[in-house]
Amino acid sequence: MARAYLKAMDQNLIPDVVGSTDHVSATGSGERALLPALLRGWRRRCPNCGGGPMMAGYLKIRQSCASCGEELHHHRAEDLPAWATILIVGHLLVSGLLTVEVNFAPPLWVHWAIWPALTLGLTMWLLPRVKGMTVALQWAKRLHGFGDRRPAIE
Ligand SMILES: [Zn+2]
C-alpha cells in the first residue's frame, strides 16, 4: 500500500499535498504532520513542501529548500541514518541468507556472489532515504532549531 502510494507520487499520479503542512502559530509552536513529512523525506524531498530536493548530492542536505525556502541546515542526523540502515539491512540480509542456506544449501561461491553485492546495493539505496526520513522527523518534531520562529534577541 505505502509502496504503491510512493510509486504513484513519484510518477505524479497523486498530487503531493499542496502547500506547507507547517501549521505554525505566532509563537513558533504548533503541529506539523508527521506522516507526509516522513514520506517526503523518503522521497528525499523538502519535508515542508515536498517540491524541492532535500539533498544536494548523495547525502549532503541543502541549506534551504529551493522551492519554499524552508531552512534545512538545522538538521542533526549524525549517525542515526547509518545505524538504522545497518539495522534494516542486517535483519533483511541475515534472514535471507539463513533462509536460502536452510532451504537450498547452495555452494559457498553462490553465497559470495549474492550477499556482498546485495548488501552493498541495498545499503546504498536505503541510506539517503533513511537520512531523508531522519531529517523529516526532526523537522516535524521541531528539533534542533527547526521550530524556532522567534525573532533573535539582540
Ligand atoms: Zn520546501
Span from the CA of 48 to the centroid of ligand 1 (angstroms): 5
**50 alpha carbon to ligand 1 midpoint, in Å?**
6
Cα separation, 100 vs 82, whole angstroms? 26
- For the chain, how many residues are written? 154
What pLDDT band is residue 127 in, cutting at 50, 70 and 90? Answer: very high
What predicted TM-score, i.e. pTM, was given to this entire model? 0.76
Asked whether residue 18 carries a pLDDT value surpassing 50, the answer given is no
- Considering only residues 70 and 146, tell me which one the structure prediction assigns the higher pLDDT: 70
Going from N- to C-terminal start, the domains of the chain cover 2-140
User: How far is it, in rounded angstroms, from Cα 6 to Cα 3?
Assistant: 5
Please enumerate in sequence order all residues whose Cβ is within 8 A of that of 67, keeping only pairs 6 or more positions apart, or say none. Answer: 46, 49, 51, 52
Q: What is the DSSP string of 26-95?
A: TTS---B-HHHHHHHHHTTB-TTTS-SBSBSSSSPBPSB-TTT--B-TT---TTHHHHHHHHHHHHHHHH
Tell me the CA–centroid distance for residue 67 and ligand 1, in Å. 5
Using an 8 Å Cβ cutoff, are 46 and 70 in contact?
Answer: yes
Question: Is the CB of residue 139 less than 8 Å from the CB of residue 73?
Answer: no
Cα 44 to ligand 1 centre (Å): 11
Q: What is the mean pLDDT of residues 42-60?
A: 96
Give the pLDDT confidence score for residue 150 in this predicted structure.
Answer: 52
34 vs 144 pLDDT, higher one: 34
Confidence at residue 15, expressed as pLDDT on a 0 to 100 scale: 45
